[in-house]
Chain A
Amino acid sequence: MSEERDVHHGHDHDHDHAHGPLHNHPPLQPDDTSAPGRYELMVLAMKELLIEKGVLTADQVRRGFETLDSWDPGRGAAIVARAWTDPAFKKKLLSDGNAAVAEFGIDMGEAKLTVVENTEKVQNVAVCTLCSCYPRAVLGLPPDWYRSKNYRSRIVIEPRKVLKEFGTEVPDDMTVRVHDSLADLRYLILPRRPAGTEGWTAEQLASIVTRDCMVGVANPQVPRNA
């Protein structure tokens, strides 16, 4: 764990304001001179009060930012790349997602990571129509469009049309399967490995697995100059 480094500001600050590049909690934002909105003020107020009342500690908040920063779609991409090249791992991933990703040091917490596989017959796509549940530990925070009313409304009733808006056309002889994750299961789509990737390294494979591929609105593309 990195050491706290105190930098003199000329005024009191509780120590979870960042002082340097080693700290991932809210950095000083001298460039942001916009007036804070109501909800920025509200969350800052709640944080301060919760710490003062001993409900949370500043250290928990700091560590929480580190955890949040570790949530990244690169993790999901590495998992997919491994599943593409290691049949035993793929089998484990499909039957017990939490145990499989624990091999990458990823803790899913109370969520049950449920991995569904795209095949030549089935295109899977995930949503949470009631809020925006999402496998954040392996994909990062959900993108704006996933959280949007338009996606949540339309993906269950006209998935092929929505996928087309993302540039993904699914032929009629394939099945589109929408997964509405409304309980403790969090869905990760395992996309199909495209042709033209034979002999690729894990890093090369991971580089074509975008976040959108793991939600199911896109499929991995081999760049033309690959």
Chain B
Amino acid sequence: MTGPFSPGDKVRVARTHPPGHRRTPYYVRGKTGTIERVCGEFPNPEELAYGFDGLPRKRLYRVRFRQKEVWPNYTGADGDTVDVDIYEHWLRAV
């Protein structure tokens, strides 16, 4: 399921490495985080990059990841996070 999600929902980022212009960084693919906020709806940058209109708009979420879940050897505090803006089609319900 790719949403819609609400703040507090647990989500997993798709572990996929498609070619072309993507704005979901490698380091969060396959990782689990929590929806921190719904950011709004925007034309899809993956389509805009090739001259398409990017419509219909996609929902953008801020996803909060615990650093200790992203990096196996993270040495900072347990509560440290990395918050990343991710489009709905990259997210799966957990």
Contacts and interface: CB of A to CB of B under 8 A. Distances in A.
**Chain A–chain B contact at Cβ < 8 A:** yes
Interface of A: 112, 129-130, 156-160, 172-185
Interface string B58-94: 0010100000001100111101111111110000000
A182 B85 CA distance: 6
Interface residues of B, number: 25
Contact of A178 (B40, B79, B81): B81
Given A160-B76, A181-B85, 18 more contacts: A112-B39, A130-B25, A156-B82, A157-B70, A159-B76, A160-B75, A175-B80, A176-B80, A177-B82, A178-B82, A179-B82, A182-B85, A183-B23, A183-B39, A183-B42, A184-B60, A185-B39, A185-B62
A183 B45 contact: yes
A179 B79 contact: no
Contacts of A178: 80-83
A163 B85 CA distance: 22
A176 B77 contact: yes
B3 to A, nearest CB: 16
A59 B60 CA distance: 36
A58 to B, nearest CB: 27
Interface of B: 23-25, 27, 39-40, 42, 45, 60, 62, 70-71, 74-77, 79-87
Contacts of B76: 158-160, 172, 176
Contacts, number: 66
B60 to A, nearest CB: 5
A175 B45 CA distance: 31
Counting chain B CB atoms within 10 Å of each CB, the highest count among A181, A182, A185 belongs to A182
Contacts of A185: 39, 60, 62, 85
A171 to B, nearest CB: 9
Contacts of B75: 158, 160
A184 B43 CA distance: 10
